Amino acid sequence: MPVDKPIKVAILDDYQGVALQLADWTVLKGKADITVFRDHLSDLAALVERLKSFDVVCVMRERTPFSRSILEQLPNLKLLASTGLRNASIDLEAAHERGVTVCGTGYTSHGAIELTWALILAIVRNVPAEIASVRAGQWQISVGGDLKGKTIGVVGLGDIGAKIAGIALAFGMNVLAWSQNLTRETAEQHGARLVGKAELFRDADIVTVHLKLSRRTEGIIGAPELNLMRSTAYLVNTSRGPLVDENALINALKNRTIAGAALDVYDVEPLTESHPLRSLDNVLATPHIGFVTEDTYKIFYRDTVENITAWLSGNPVRVAKSRNG
């Protein structure tokens, strides 16, 4: 797309202020005026006001949604550059109708896998409370749990779930697995035993969720599944918040029908200041940082620069996919 003046580019939700450091944006010098926004706007009217003059908007995963109503109020928008392969919060049909190109980037999953195990170890061994005890001048305050010999239930045995299972085996755990299309052969290939959904929730000491969010999987874990879990069991979700019925989970945590939950994802992000998941003492909550690693961000922003450069030159970009794409 040849231009006679620099295009206006907005980089959204750069919480840590690292976008311009982790890729070579100088290739766009003279071609683009870049503005970085480190804050997150939940107010949609304020978001539209902020973005209505920009030609290109760079979005970080699904932090800021672009619905049809938002897109219709951004008359200058021509390129929506998302990070990652899919972005369920972008209305691709509406973007296409308005002639807005939507592109995506490469991705690496190791950050999410590593964080999942960081959360599991932290909640089972009560690490945050023990750290707080040391900082307060105290010493040991709890007896931690064990992983060896315990059972982990992996909901979703795709690329990430399979690697989670492999690490569980290294800890000496028993691995159960379930998903809607999982076969016995695939489960056994990854050292897991295929079981029914009810059996997994009933028998696992830890249930960890690794499914893609779609119409079929939204709310796939609700009160019926949580009620099957042991009072000593933990739920871990580093995939997508809406996979789990949030109200049902909060009730289970408040009533202590499960031991606790380790969460990195939520229905609405960021969490409101008064959200119960911020204050429940049996919740270990992180602010959706599974993919927030230096290696991942370098891929995201490098590919974003390449997409913008290609688009300006009239060359193909990496096409973003929908939730079910």
Q: Which of 125, 269, 275, 302 is catalytic?
A: 269
- Do residues 235 and 180 touch, judged by C-beta distance below 8 A? no
Helix (H) or strand (E) holding 174: strand 174-178
- Catalytic annotation, pick one of 240, 306, 318, 323: 240
Which residues are within 8 A (CB) of 155 and not within 5 positions of it... i.e. 6 or more apart? 161, 177, 178, 179, 200, 207, 208, 209, 210, 211, 220, 221
Q: 190 catalytic, yes or no?
A: no
Active-site residue flag, 240: yes
Other C-beta atoms closer than 10 Å to the C-beta of 321 total: 17
Active-site residue (options: 288, 306, 318, 323) = 288
Q: Is the dihedral of CA 169, 171, 174, 176 positive or negative?
A: negative
Please confirm, yes or no, whether 269 is among the known catalytic residues: yes
- Whose tokens are 């951004």? That residue is 74
- 239 SS3 class: coil
Cα 122 from Cα 133, distance rounded (Å): 14
Distances in whole angstroms, Cα of residue 297 to Cα of each of 220, 317, 322 = 30, 18, 21
Peptide bond connecting 128 to the previous residue in cis, omega within 30 degrees of 0: no
Say how many Å lie between the first and final Cα of the chain, rounded: 27
CB 190 within 8 A of CB 177: yes
Establish how many alpha carbons lie within 13 A of residue 288's alpha carbon, considering only the half-sphere containing its beta carbon.
Answer: 16
Q: How far is the C-alpha of 238 from the C-alpha of 164, rounded, in Å?
A: 12
> How far from 141 is each of 126, 135, 137, 144, 280, CA to CA, in Å?
9, 13, 12, 10, 18
∠ CA 12-14-18, nearest 5°, is 135
**Catalytic residue list:** 240, 269, 288
